[in-house]
Structure 1
Amino acid sequence: MTERTMTGEELKTLRTTRKLSQDGLAKLLNEQTKRSYDRAKVSKWENGVDRIPDDVAALLRESSATVPTGIPTASTGPATILVVINQKGGVQKTGSVVNLAYLLSHKAKKKVLVVDCDAQGSATIHLGMYPPDLEIEGKTLFHVLFRKKPILESIVTTCDGLIDLVPSGISLAKADTEIGAMTNGELRLNTVLGAVRDRYDVILLDCPPHLGKITISALNAANQVLIPSNPEMLSIMGIPAILESVEEVQQTVNPDLSILGILPTRYDQRRSQDKARMQDLAGVAADNGLHMFPPIKNAVIYVEGVNAGQPALKLDPNAPGAEAFEEVMEALLEAAKQGKETANVA
């Protein structure tokens, strides 16, 4: 009897249960098959570009019942969900999401999913994917939310296997209309993420630069909120509206939602204007009892990361602001730990 073909999703599940990167799986297969597979080939298998050889499928299925010595099983979920928002564009929301995701995966060894909630597809592009192609394939958040596409069929693997991504594209520009036409439409994202929450340690939601229905949907689904803000008046002036939206969500839908803090971005200490606005930002944080993280300094490496389709911290682990991202990561992990301890007590 011929064994059924292995799907890319099945392969990814087998790999991640062993906490293997795509490079790690290729190395393991090469040791056992005496071939020369690489990360790119594993990525093509997982994303459905190339068919998985029958002997590879048989080998992996045979080993799935008992995990080989030295390959730990994953201990993941339920994921902590962090939403990154500011209603002004150009404040490094996407850069914050992508670089934080990289640190969580690479340094903290967490299993991470990025969900691109912006019709501009910024996180999708930043992680090296091309939104128009994904739109044609029907593998975007729009199709998951509004066209009944299973979320597992839309997840793509990026950053050498470190970061999973639910991509976005221009079709998501219709999200507010679609959500408005649904019963309890602003809870749809929460429902969709429930299908994968046990597969990840952290899910990061990259939101558009406005407080529309898709952003409110993200707040409804999240545990924590991070507010990036560059040292400009328009960016800072938008924070009170974000706080009002968070409070409304806490009172009506998601009482466990918390604000992780404010993350200053694009800071240039040589500019007197930046120094003055940093004081304003610190005042907003203090007035609202919020933590303010150290600033992410303005540096060309973050632009280079976008151009390369990679996190800046992958290109340069010591990039200006790396220590600030690490502090955000530690704060998020601590919040996640406390949340799980509270849930266990309850």
Structure 2
Amino acid sequence: MGRTIAIANQKGGVGKSTTAINLSACLAEAGKRVLTVDIDPQGNTTSGLGTDKNGVEYTLYELLLGDCDPKDCIIENVVERVDLIPSNVNLSGAEIELVGIEEREYILKNVLERIKEGYDYIIMDCPPSLSMLTINALTAADSVLVPIQCEYYALEGLSQLIHTIELVQERLNKKLEIEGVVFTMYDARTNLSLEVVENVKENLNQNIYKTIIPRNVRLAEAPSYGLPINMYDPKSTGAESYRLLAEEVINREGGE
């Protein structure tokens, strides 16, 4: 049975989409079957995996509203062994349209249950807010991976995210675990990056991945070419880092 991981942090610009794209691709490179679900109306993961977000007929929006089947909106092999449920700006309307629906927190979970069998991993890129879309992702997930940018305000808002995760555990998804924290945009030239890492380790009673994702020009360029980093520049430090993260994710499962 596949493992479903939500990549969440209500702060924007911390590397959620970058992590969703590249973790998916590196898990696939390691021989796993992956479904990437873009839950962010910005659609960055969709375009970062080489799909025209405005040119797709069916997206997560239609799927959540019951206007299409999963097979209608899954785009197969956007990268070898990676399938995608795309998203675009239409999804921002889903919040309002789901208001009157009973058990609306479970809609995504129910959809994924029907297709989970076909995948080793389902990676979900959450929007930068604690919205109904994020709640749906947390309810559907086995675990949450939290990217944290190595910057001064890294811890700000994190306690709020952890509180939300605890509420979801309590009321909607007892099995939900915090997969771990991954540091992104690490700049080895600054003391600040190092201080942030030490500060989070001291103050956060959570699993922290050994792999730290560096600030890397190639990593920043790759989405504009619609390619994950391991295809855009396989030898870059960004590609190596995401391969190591994928390895840790795979091994963490084995260690449970």
Task: Tell me the TM-score range normalised by the shorter chain.
Answer: over 0.9
Matched, 1:206 2:122: no
Corresponding residue for 2:161? 242
> How many residues of Structure 1 are paired with residues of Structure 2 in the alignment?
256
Amino acid at match of 1:238: G
Output aligned runs, 1:331-342, within 5 Å.
Answer: 331-337=248-254
**Aligned 8 A contact 2:3 2:120 in 1:** yes
Corresponding residue for 2:71? 152
- Whole-angstrom CA distance in 2 between matches of 1:331 and 1:259: 15
Instruction: Return the match for 1:93 from 16, 27, 30.
Output: 16
Rate the CA distance shift 1:267–1:164 in 2: closer, same or farther, 3 A: same
Output aligned runs, 1:20-59, within 5 Å.
Answer: none
Amino acid at match of 1:304: E
**Aligned 8 A contact 1:124 1:131 in 2:** yes
- Whole-angstrom CA distance in 1 between matches of 2:185 and 2:76: 28
Matched, 1:220 2:139: yes
Higher normalized strand content (fraction of residues): 2
Output aligned runs, 1:166-315, within 5 Å.
Answer: 166-285=85-204, 288-315=205-232
**TM superposition shift of 1:240:** 1.0
| SS across alignment from 1:129 | coil
Output aligned runs, 1:128-167, within 5 Å.
Answer: 128-134=50-56, 137=57, 139-167=58-86
| SS across alignment from 1:266 | strand
**TM superposition shift of 1:323:** 4.5
- Whole-angstrom CA distance in 1 between matches of 2:248 and 2:220: 26
**Larger RCO (CA within 8 A; separation ≥ 6):** 2
- Whole-angstrom CA distance in 1 between matches of 2:249 and 2:142: 10
Higher normalized helix content (fraction of residues): 1
Identity %: 31
- Whole-angstrom CA distance in 2 between matches of 1:197 and 1:237: 34
Cα root mean square deviation, aligned: 1.7
Corresponding residue for 1:111? 33
Corresponding residue for 1:84? 7
| SS across alignment from 1:293 | strand
**TM superposition shift of 1:233:** 3.1
- Whole-angstrom CA distance in 2 between matches of 1:336 and 1:180: 36
Corresponding residue for 2:43? 121
Displacement over 6 Å in runs of 4+: none
In structure 1, the gaps of 5 or more residues are: 1-77, 340-346
**Aligned 8 A contact 2:46 2:86 in 1:** yes
**TM superposition shift of 1:159:** 3.9
Corresponding residue for 2:234? 317
Which region of structure 1 is more displaced relative to structure 2, 173-182 or 317-326?
Answer: 317-326
**TM superposition shift of 1:284:** 3.1
- Whole-angstrom CA distance in 2 between matches of 1:302 and 1:199: 29
- For normalisation by structure 1, the TM-score amounts to 0.70
